[in-house]
Chain A
Amino acid sequence: MSLLNIHSLHTFFKTSSGIVKAVDGVSLSVKKGEILGIVGESGCGKSVLALSILRLLPMPPAFFEQGQIMFNKSDLLKISNEEIRSIRGNRISMIFQEPMTALNPVYTVGNQLAEVYRVHRNMSKKQALEKAVNMLEKVGIPGPKNRLKEYPYQLSGGLRQRVMIAMALACQPQLLIADEPTTALDVTIQAQILDLVIKLRKELGTAIIMITHDLGVIAEITDRVMVMYTGSIMESASTLELFEKPLHPYTMGLLKSIPGTGATDENELYEIKGNVPSLLNLPQGCKFNTRCPMAVDICTQKRPELREIYPEHNVACWRVDHV
């Protein structure tokens, strides 16, 4: 059963040089307890998509041209500000990339963590602090009682990200959106955090949307993946299938351009030619046609729709039969 259903979401930005189509017709669904990965290069719209779900974008300049985000039978784009506020941090919560800027530097860790309980659960300060200790323990912070009184600057990057996770999971949300949660961390700390995420998912049964540019992280923890490019989904499939038989030329290119996997012994890495086009000036037809090695006439004329090629494996490409 699906928990979250996004239907044809268009999030645009009005700028002085024109309309930026950051999310351009994305549909997806997240099932209970699953980890969905969204992968793409910078500027592909993955963060805007995440922020759209919780309506955390500044409006204006952002606006929803069309679309629906259905969560527990209500459309998150239509409900009032009070209603969305009661969902944020409670039913759906979010972890951000930069743990230093996401925590408030002038409040103690305990204060910030207890706030979640006080706002959403109406607890007294004492009760909330007790709960906070439990939560810190759950995310593996040693000596949680003492940590309550510390300020974010006193913690290392890894510990800060654990505090962020504790805050996000405090109210046992049904959905957790993690936007590049390990990008700012070192590999050994990243491994700790990913391990923690998997463990907590098992314990709490939270569904997770994992947003990252790192295909390694995707392979490591997700059940299903969507590949985004310039605001649209190019391919979606189960993680195993996507890595085993990618069908979109962009996905194939991405997978082949990862260095040092030991899988290929070639001296030369595969390159995707050129750069990501500007969102203000997207090519006609398929948005990938300027960089695609397989592009033909139709690719420059008509935009391909996401089609189901195999069960649960969707691709937006005209040339998929020739792959």
Chain B
Amino acid sequence: MSNLIEVYKLSKHFPVSAGLFSRKKKYVYAMDEISFTLGEKETLGLVGESGCGKSTASRTILNLITPTSGQVWFQGQNLFALKPYEKRKLRQGIQIIFQDPFGSLNPRLTVKRIVEEPLLTHKIGDRASRRQEVEKMLTKVGLLPEHMKRFPHEFSGGQRQRIMLARALILKPKLIIADEPVSALDVSVQAQMLNLLKRLQEEMDLSYIFISHDLGVIRHVSHKVAVMYLGEIVEIAPVDPLYNEPLHPYTISLLSSVPVPDPKKKNRTRKILQGDVPSPRNPPAGCRFHTRCPDCMDICTREKPDTRQVKKNHMVACHLYQDGELWVPPLPNQ
């Protein structure tokens, strides 16, 4: 099966000025050489703590942020090598939905105008057909056609999230990047949204890159999961192996930190990490996780671990797994 999207060694370092007279430029290492592939109708869960580069990853893939290095291939074309008008065309196939259902909708526009905007931007259809299309999309996401004339403030958080989804879907994309789409919602509304996303995946043959800090949500929606720490993917695997037999010490402690909604498991042994995430301005040498790692060895403070394939499709970047087969991301489209 060919891949819908291939991300190859994608990096983004944000320059920060280090003072007025400083010659040396400093960088925030927001994202470092992340690689993954995603097939059609698949969901990749991107999980990690705040500041680990999840959102930078999503915006760089869309080319909302220019990457420092790396490639993104979408439907067999290199997104960064295209001419602007080609890129615009190709980007119709990738859409994004954001976390904040209050800040992402223009309060002065009606729902109709908001949802139809992508069609206007890409000059698709005439007035009547656009209207029809908007109507169809609103019904698809569980709203009513009569909601078209209303404004965003008349809707609850969950409904606004649906409006945003309708706007993203109106161009019939192949890939949706969902950046924390449910973290502002209550559990009961969150369940509605997650079910809707799953149903639409079936109906419209969508792939998702699903970003969340909530490990439960990620487990529910994803086919494979990438765990990020300080800008790097430390482990990537299909969802069940990752949750049942996590390999990287960070994944292990992350999973055991999640409070389990079952009081009988209250006294299970948990691996609680010490300290905080270091600043991405000055990431630790060697393995970036070594400052908090319970299994830190001598080598970890000096050498950056290679990514190795320890089991089938289960990649991990950690010195504990030296016997794994060295894994180099294949060059896209070869």
> Is A243 a contact of B262 with CB atoms below 8 Å?
yes
In angstroms, Cα B186 to Cα A188, docked, is 22
> Is B186 a contact of A213 with CB atoms below 8 Å?
yes
Q: Chain B: interface secondary structure?
A: helix
A321 within 8 Å of B (CB atoms): no
Residue tally, chain A, CB below 8 Å to B: 44
Residues of B within 8 A of A217 (CB): 259
Q: Taking the nearest CB of chain A, how far is it from the CB of B205, in angstroms? A: 17
A191 within 8 Å of B (CB atoms): yes
Residues of B within 8 A of A188 (CB): 49, 253-254, 257, 272-273
A219 within 8 Å of B (CB atoms): yes
> Is A240 a contact of B264 with CB atoms below 8 Å?
yes
Among the listed A190, A221, A262, which residue makes an inter-chain contact with B219, where contact means beta carbons less than 8 Å apart? A262
A-facing residues in B268-298 (Cβ within 8 Å)? 270, 272-274, 276-277
B-facing residues in A1-48 (Cβ within 8 Å)? 41-42
Among the listed B187, B265, B266, which residue makes an inter-chain contact with A258, where contact means beta carbons less than 8 Å apart? B187
Interface segment, A63-71, A126-134, A266-274, A305-313? A266-274
> Is A216 a contact of B258 with CB atoms below 8 Å?
yes
In angstroms, Cα B188 to Cα A254, docked, is 6
> Is A187 a contact of B188 with CB atoms below 8 Å?
no
B102 within 8 Å of A (CB atoms): no
Most chain B CB neighbours (cut-off 10 Å) among A188, A255, A261: A188
> Is A186 a contact of B50 with CB atoms below 8 Å?
yes
B261 within 8 Å of A (CB atoms): yes
Residue of B nearest to A195 (CB): B272
> Is B217 a contact of A259 with CB atoms below 8 Å?
yes
Knowing that A215-B187, A217-B259, A259-B221 touch, tell me 11 more A-B residue pairs with CB under 8 angstroms. Answer: A187-B257, A188-B257, A192-B274, A213-B186, A220-B260, A221-B266, A243-B262, A243-B264, A269-B194, A271-B192, A275-B158
**7 pairs of residues in contact across A and B, judged by CB atoms under 8 Å:** A186-B213, A217-B259, A257-B191, A260-B219, A262-B243, A272-B188, A276-B186
Q: Give residues in A with beta carbon < 8 Å to B.
A: 41-42, 156, 158-159, 186-192, 194-195, 213-221, 239-240, 243, 253-255, 257-263, 267-272, 275-276
